Amino acid sequence: MRGPDSDLHEVTSLLEAGRDVDAITAIERFAEQTDDPTLRRELYEVVASGRASSRGFRRAWDRLLMAYTVGR
């Protein structure tokens, strides 16, 4: 099984390529696989904002990525 770092890298790569829909799918998969309830909730919130707007999705993803990186 892949680790969180490879999942985060995959999502970031998809976003940089402009593939927001694929990134949302990858985040949903990541949320389903994680055992951390806080991370799961945050990932689902990112997914929800992504369905509302691409800009909201990217802002939410950036906040989550920063929190994840700082929290490690």
Domain boundaries, the chain: 4-71
Q: Give the pLDDT score at 1.
A: 43
Round to whole Å and give the CA distance between 22 and 2. 17
pLDDT digits (tens, 9 = 90+) for 21-36: 898 898 899 889 888 8
Cα separation of the two ends of the chain: 20
Q: Give the pLDDT score at 55.
A: 73
Round to whole Å and give the CA distance between 37 and 51. 21
Tens of pLDDT along the chain (72 residues) come to: 456 567 778 888 888 888 888 988 988 998 898 888 888 888 898 888 777 667 777 777 788 788 778 775
Round to whole Å and give the CA distance between 41 and 23. 17
